[in-house]
Structure 1
Amino acid sequence: MTTNITTNITTKDGTTLAVDTIGQGAPVILIGGAFNDRSTVAELGAELASGFTVVTYDRRGRGASDDRSDDYLVANEIDDLAAVIEHVGGEASVFGHSSGAVLVLEGAMHGLPIDRVAVYEPSYCADENQPKPPADVHDRLKGLLTAGDRDGATELFLGEVVGVPAEVIAGMKAGETWPFLVDKAPSLPYDVLLSTPWQLMPLDRIAGIKVPVLAVYGDQTSPGLAAATKMVAATVPGAELRVMAGEDHAVLQRPTALAAILAKFFG
């Protein structure tokens, strides 16, 4: 049986990140999106552990990781990813889901020592005609969190950023997973800053990525996420595009097929 090892590492600004390592082989880092922590990518990690040293971590402000910064900055999360890469030996392949996919791409754009990049449905806006949240959603999220209203911040993100209907959110609030979502609320401004969903994705910067990229989406996902994934593949020179039949944005709950795709790409 493969043993999981949990370590705490310290990043550039003194923030402590909880990092899990499992398996053996070349290092692969897995990063979840909004409302995710290292537990939500653990099953995918277990699927890959026979061939890779799999590393997962709680992004700052969620799970067992804290946040020592004075403000929300994308640079904070890039510094965190750099620290995790250093922790696993100074070079790694990286997979990201949703806003975690955007974080991985940002890491590559900033020249972090990343061997290969795989992304699943990055949460960019690829079509100026698709619905967008107002640009002040980041400031309103911060305001709610400053006031201690995690429930309100969770509702705001789900409603205006993700586009979940109000009646569905009401049902979610009555469900058993709501406390898990609310616990991640302090990190939501990072997800918004990474994706900047009120504006089009930064194609000129994405085109500058120099490492191999695999972009994956499910054919049952939302049109916006599919469009963003296809745009990443079309923009990064030499990137690969894969479509998973019958899959949607919740792929991490059913990771076996995705793990096979990633193992081939990272192998």
Structure 2
Amino acid sequence: MEDNWTVQRVPAADGAEIVLHSIGAGPGIILVHGGGVTIEVYRRTARRLADRFTVHLYNRRGRADAAARAEPYDGEQDIDDLAALLAHTGARNVIGHSGGGFIALRAAARRLPIGRLALYDGAVQVDGLVWLDWLPGARAAADAGEIARALAITGAGVHPESAASRLPLFLRVAICRLFLRTSIGRTMGELLPTTLDESTLIHRHGGPAERWSGVEAEVLLACGAGGPPYFQETNEALAAVMPHARTLVVPRVGHDALNRAPKHLIDALADFFTAPVVSKPAGA
């Protein structure tokens, strides 16, 4: 279909504006993006869903065209902004990726009107399954202005399955210095303090899977077969306690699959959002 985006400015609870980028026709889906990036990396996914859905993208606070983020960061503004967009659009479908999945799951646990929630590699700390012992070292490097070193430590911590994570630190730092010369690298470098703040918040909200048992939405807990192994373990633990959740391991993809938008992932998301209703939507 034609690549026609509409842009609206939606009032937030604190009086700021949320810039909403939308494309497509059909039932609404709001995508909550992950840490370290902006909505630009999700436009391909939105386009590939746009023949069946109206897909809404927005930059979370402190990124690109979004308003400034409140400090200290506690994630409450993220939840309030998602609530404002659900009310404005009438959408009841949400996709959350990585750190955005954590925000979306917290919103669903608070009974925001989310009928169906698809998490891809949702960054949720359950039963200590995710090791975050790399955080202090990454934070110290970032505070010292050593962004390449901080990215190298973060990358290995988040992606222990990657071959690069097993390289000596000095080599990983050299690779990150080159990466920072690219467009996406510059964005990730600039947003690294925000990413570390989110990782710290996720760690602080860690605990048993049962804390999420009150989520009443239909939930798809998806992860990539080639991504960090802890996402599959986390999803299985969450699915065991959520009343309307199921897991999906997507073959031949990793953590960035929601950006790359392979057909088999897009089709799985479309099937989830169009399947017959099993449970009563939250807030109904």
| Structure-2-length-normalised TM-score | 0.80
- Judge conservation of contact 2:10–2:17 (CA < 8 Å) in 1: yes
- Judge conservation of contact 2:36–2:188 (CA < 8 Å) in 1: yes
Structure 2, unpaired ranges of 5+: 275-284
**Structure 2 residue aligned with 1:120:** 120
Deviates more, 1:248-257 or 1:125-134: 125-134
Deviations 1:174-218 (A, max 9, x none): 12132121232353245224421x774442221110111111112
Following superposition, the deviation at residue 15 of structure 1 comes to 3.6
- Judge conservation of contact 1:95–1:101 (CA < 8 Å) in 2: yes
**Structure 2 residue aligned with 1:245:** 251
1: CA distance between counterparts of 2:133 and 2:205?
Answer: 9
**Structure 1 residue aligned with 2:176:** 172
2: CA distance between counterparts of 1:37 and 1:4?
Answer: 16
**Structure 2 residue aligned with 1:96:** 96
- Judge conservation of contact 1:31–1:41 (CA < 8 Å) in 2: no
- Judge conservation of contact 1:74–1:193 (CA < 8 Å) in 2: no
2: CA distance between counterparts of 1:169 and 1:216?
Answer: 31
Following superposition, the deviation at residue 71 of structure 1 comes to 2.0
Deviates more, 1:217-226 or 1:150-159: 150-159
Q: How many residues align?
A: 262
2: CA distance between counterparts of 1:214 and 1:170?
Answer: 38
Q: Which protein has the larger Cα radius of gyration, Structure 1 or Structure 2?
A: 2
**Structure 1 residue aligned with 2:71:** 70
Establish whether residue 227 from structure 1 lines up as the match of residue 195 from structure 2. Answer: no
**Structure 2 residue aligned with 1:181:** 188
Q: Which amino acid aligns with 2:133?
A: P
1: CA distance between counterparts of 2:16 and 2:147?
Answer: 21
Following superposition, the deviation at residue 103 of structure 1 comes to 1.1
Does the C-alpha gap of structure 1 residues 129 and 244 become closer, same or farther in structure 2, counting only changes over 3 Å?
A: closer
**Structure 2 residue aligned with 1:79:** 80
- Judge conservation of contact 2:13–2:81 (CA < 8 Å) in 1: yes
Does the C-alpha gap of structure 1 residues 126 and 219 become closer, same or farther in structure 2, counting only changes over 3 Å?
A: same
Q: Which amino acid aligns with 2:235?
A: T
Establish whether residue 50 from structure 1 lines up as the match of residue 51 from structure 2. Answer: yes
Deviations 1:103-147 (A, max 9, x none): 111110011111111111112334537633267679x47x83xx8
Establish whether residue 217 from structure 1 lines up as the match of residue 223 from structure 2. Answer: yes
Q: Which amino acid aligns with 1:225?
A: F
2: CA distance between counterparts of 1:74 and 1:183?
Answer: 19
1: CA distance between counterparts of 2:94 and 2:137?
Answer: 29
Following superposition, the deviation at residue 12 of structure 1 comes to 1.9
Structure 1, unpaired ranges of 5+: none
Pick from 254, 259, 262 the counterpart of residue 266 of structure 2: 259
Does the C-alpha gap of structure 1 residues 240 and 112 become closer, same or farther in structure 2, counting only changes over 3 Å?
A: same
- Judge conservation of contact 1:61–1:186 (CA < 8 Å) in 2: no
Does the C-alpha gap of structure 1 residues 178 and 204 become closer, same or farther in structure 2, counting only changes over 3 Å?
A: same
- Judge conservation of contact 1:48–1:259 (CA < 8 Å) in 2: yes
- Judge conservation of contact 1:20–1:57 (CA < 8 Å) in 2: yes
- Judge conservation of contact 1:127–1:227 (CA < 8 Å) in 2: no
Following superposition, the deviation at residue 173 of structure 1 comes to 2.1
**Structure 2 residue aligned with 1:7:** 8
Quick one: percent identity of the two aligned structures? 27
SS at match of 2:220: strand
Following superposition, the deviation at residue 54 of structure 1 comes to 0.6
SS at match of 1:215: strand
2: CA distance between counterparts of 1:39 and 1:200?
Answer: 29
